[in-house]
Amino acid sequence: MLDNLWLHFARHGAGITAPVITRGDGVRIFDDRGRSYLDALSALFVVQAGHGREELAEAAAAQARTLAYFPLWSYATPPAIELAERLAGYAPGDLNRVFFTSGGGEAVETAWKLAKQYFRLIGKPGKYKAISRAIAYHGTPQGALALTGVPKYQAPFEPLTPGAVKVPNTNFYRAPEPLRTDVKAFGRWAADRIAEAIEFEGPDTVAAVFLEPVQNAGGCIPPPPGYFERVREICDEYDVLLVSDEVICAYGRIGSMFACDDFGYVPDMITCAKGLTSGYSPIGAMIASDRLFEPFNDGATMFPHGYTFGGHPVSAAVALANLDIFERERLNERVKQNAPAFRATLEKLYDLPVVGDVRGEGYFYAVELVKDRVARATFTAEQRRRLLPRVSSALYEAGLYCRIDERGDPAIQVAPPLISGPAEFAEIESVLRAVLTGIGDDVFDS
């Protein structure tokens, strides 16, 4: 049945059979066997407003009947104009220029290319490098892949785009020993590694710093208090652009339209996608400050970059309808109100010895698994090979769709649709508890 479909980030052969998801309704998905699962990952951090929203389907159909497609290459369409205006209104500071893409990786690619050309236009052509964090994931296009800090994803495609530099992430649970008792000092330490990298590479060579508000890969790693304030100071000091990669964190996942507002900083660019349409049609965007747009606003200079389907009129219309739902149903406020209960429910799992850390923000959490909580000891490669597929399969069979993140130390990620509440939180905790309690002793054998 799956002889022709090449799945993404998936293993094939050896008798592996992929589940087939046929329908979604609210917070639940259904497979071709008729089984129901709680979508505790919002279908990869995307379906903010939930599955089966007729309003969004109708918005797509209505736009397709009027103008199904036209490119933004020197032309504009009403949905793209309106959506750009709306996003600029949500964005902080002077981030008023919206460049549409088809998805998140393209938005990151766009941001790095813009940073390079911007500095060339203002007389600083040597500034081309970009700094990102260890284990961070920024996408799969060649430029975005170079920013990604997961070597096993990069190795098959080397040589990588030159100029990508890595610094430590903000995982306080894995902080160096002297910093484990002071989260603010750790945040300052982590931020100062960016300044150190800029000095090492040469300030005249560094164009941008790419950071997620809450880092996805490695298991929902939040920023320590004061971290982004210090990063903003560093970027200003060295004339380096700060890019807030919010492909996952934007549109209510943390609690605001843009998560940089949740953490009190104003970037020079925002990259976003996923939740903008709640997944009902693909779209992404790079939102830039007026300062970055100014060199292109002379009637002659062009940004020679674009995508055929960037700002697709149907996708833009769906995004507008999705944002209407956000405002009418006050989804951001719902996340802010319920987030403490979500955290408290997941923290009940601390009574299980295999649970080392529960971390995240908003509706974006991870439960890190350890073999020794006192020592914070992670699993060997062989133990991971036995443990992670078993846990993943057991969670799915128990009716929970979530994710095992093994890009750093192993963690279970949960990020339910924004329409979720205490009942869904309790179901997530109950299934996690049952599965983690049932881990066999053979997993811990050396």
Residue 439: predicted pLDDT: 83
365: left (phi over 0), alpha (psi -120 to 50) or beta: beta
How many angstroms separate the CA atoms of 236 and 240, rounded? 6
Regarding whether 241 and 365 lie in a shared domain, the answer is: no
Is 12 among the domain residues? no
* CATH number of the domain within which 405 lies: 3.90.1150.10
Pick from 329, 357, 384: which residue ends a domain?
Answer: 329
Regarding whether 337 and 204 lie in a shared domain, the answer is: no
Regarding whether 118 and 242 lie in a shared domain, the answer is: yes
Residue 438: predicted pLDDT: 84
Per-residue pLDDT of the chain (446 residues), as tens digits, is: 678 999 999 999 988 889 999 999 999 999 999 999 999 999 999 999 999 999 999 999 999 999 999 999 999 999 999 999 999 999 999 999 999 999 999 999 999 999 999 999 999 999 999 999 999 999 999 999 999 999 999 999 999 999 999 999 999 999 998 899 999 999 999 999 999 999 999 999 999 999 999 999 999 999 999 999 999 999 999 999 999 999 999 999 999 999 999 999 999 999 999 999 999 999 999 999 999 999 999 999 999 999 999 999 999 999 999 999 999 999 999 999 999 999 999 999 999 999 999 999 999 999 999 999 988 989 888 888 888 889 999 999 999 999 999 998 999 999 999 999 999 999 999 999 999 998 866 666 65
Residue 443: predicted pLDDT: 65
How many angstroms separate the CA atoms of 93 and 265, rounded? 9
- Provide φ and ψ at 175, rounded to 5°: -65, 155
Question: What is this structure's pTM?
Answer: 0.96
Bridge-based pairing of strands 241-245 and 269-272 is parallel
Residue 386: predicted pLDDT: 87
Regarding whether 144 and 242 lie in a shared domain, the answer is: yes
Q: Which amino acid is at 88?
A: A
- Provide φ and ψ at 351, rounded to 5°: -80, 0
Is 6 among the domain residues? no
Residue 3: predicted pLDDT: 85
**CA atoms 250, 251, 254, 260: torsion sign:** positive
What's CA 140's distance to the chain center, in Å? 13
Is 3 among the domain residues? no
Q: Hey, is 223 helix, strand or coil?
A: coil
Range of the domain at 280: 55-329
Q: Which amino acid is at 319?
A: A
Query: 391 with 439: CB under 8 angstroms?
Result: yes
Regarding whether 271 and 389 lie in a shared domain, the answer is: no
Regarding whether 206 and 352 lie in a shared domain, the answer is: no
Place of tokens 């160096």: 176
Regarding whether 293 and 365 lie in a shared domain, the answer is: no
Nearest partner of 103 among 64, 151, 138, 60, judged by Cα: 138
Burial 200-237 (b: 16+ CB within 10 A, else e): eeeeeebbbbbbbbbbbbbbbbbbbeebbebbbebbee
Query: 190 with 224: CB under 8 angstroms?
Result: yes
Q: How far, in Å, are 398, 403, 408, 437 from residue 391 at the CA level? A: 10, 10, 17, 11
Regarding whether 334 and 291 lie in a shared domain, the answer is: no
DSSP single-letter state for residue 374: T
Pick from 301, 329, 357: which residue ends a domain?
Answer: 329
Is 167 among the domain residues? yes
Query: 239 with 203: CB under 8 angstroms?
Result: yes
Regarding whether 155 and 109 lie in a shared domain, the answer is: yes
Regarding whether 340 and 251 lie in a shared domain, the answer is: no
Regarding whether 133 and 43 lie in a shared domain, the answer is: no
Is 149 among the domain residues? yes
Q: Hey, is 216 helix, strand or coil?
A: coil
Is 14 among the domain residues? no
Alpha-carbon torsion, ordered 333, 170, 274, 417, to 10 deg? -40
* CATH number of the domain within which 266 lies: 3.40.640.10
Is 193 among the domain residues? yes
Pick from 329, 349, 369: which residue ends a domain?
Answer: 329
Is 106 among the domain residues? yes
Regarding whether 367 and 291 lie in a shared domain, the answer is: no
Q: How many domains does the chain have?
A: 2
Q: Hey, is 233 helix, strand or coil?
A: helix
Q: Which amino acid is at 1?
A: M
Alpha-carbon torsion, ordered 425, 429, 430, 432, to 10 deg? 140
How many angstroms separate the CA atoms of 219 and 405, rounded? 6
The beta-strand segments (E) located in 19-160 are 21-25, 28-31, 36-39, 95-101, 129-133
